[in-house]
Amino acid sequence: MSSRFSRAASTYEEWAVPQRETAKKLVEFIKPRGLILDLGCGTGFVSEHIKGTTVGLDISEEMVRVYVEKFGKGILGDAENLPFKDKSFDYVLSNFALHWTDWRRSIKEALRVARKGVGVSIPVEGSVSFSEFPFPREEEILKLFNPTDYLILEVDIPFTGFELVKFFHFTGTSLYKGKSKVKTKRELERLAKHSGREKFRVLLLKLLK
């Protein structure tokens, strides 16, 4: 997975429009202060909206490189096993990243290293009508973590036809662990021809301590 997102780093900022939108909304929802961990930082969509000190962590070496160029401090690491001591950060924010991980373990790790709170935006079941991706169920997340507050967003993907196929390719999300098979060019062309406006159903979590 890390190599796939590394290859996508050069195109991610141009194509990841929904991800950029939810990053802004997440920061507005949480209003973090102090030292913040941008977990699964990518190229830094969350950090762009934070006035405090940020540290980025991502599993992709190339994403971390881009993040460091923009924000100064980035670490190559795994969200499921964070390389930090307990309560190392005031807040931990993660945008559009933890569905790629064991989200139960990753959120618990985020809570472990946060002093004040955790904010998460994560696409859930009901996202992208044709996708085989095993998006988590919002009911399961809410039951397990009992958040201080939460929001559900319907976030449009502003591409249709073959542009929609390119969106999934250029944001690194056309393949994933457990995918049954890679679609052929003909299958992609058929999908592009019949696809309309798609959306992500995104859960925003506020977990205060």
pLDDT in tens, 48-87: 999 889 999 999 999 999 999 999 999 999 999 999 999 9
Take residue 52 and report the two structure tokens written for it: 């405090």
Q: Using an 8 Å Cβ cutoff, are 202 and 121 in contact? A: yes
Question: How far, CA to CA in Å, does 155 sit from each of 159, 161, 204?
Answer: 12, 18, 12
Take residue 1 and report the two structure tokens written for it: 């997975």
- Report the range of poorest mean pLDDT among 16-20, 55-59, 76-80, 90-94: 16-20
Alpha helices in the chain (DSSP H): 2-15, 17-30, 61-71, 103-113, 138-145, 161-170, 185-194
Q: What is the pTM of this model?
A: 0.87
Q: Is 106 left (phi over 0), alpha (psi -120 to 50) or beta?
A: alpha
CATH architecture of 2-158+199-208: 3-Layer(aba) Sandwich (3.40)
Q: Using an 8 Å Cβ cutoff, are 106 and 78 in contact? A: no
Q: Using an 8 Å Cβ cutoff, are 130 and 157 in contact? A: no
Q: Looking at the predicted structure, is the pLDDT value of residue 1 above 50?
A: no
The structural domains of the chain, with segments of one domain joined by +, span: 2-158+199-208
The pLDDT assigned to 163 comes to: 80
Which residues lie closer than 8 Å to 190 by C-beta, 6 or more apart? none
| Per-residue pLDDT tens digits for 143-159 | 999 999 999 999 999 88
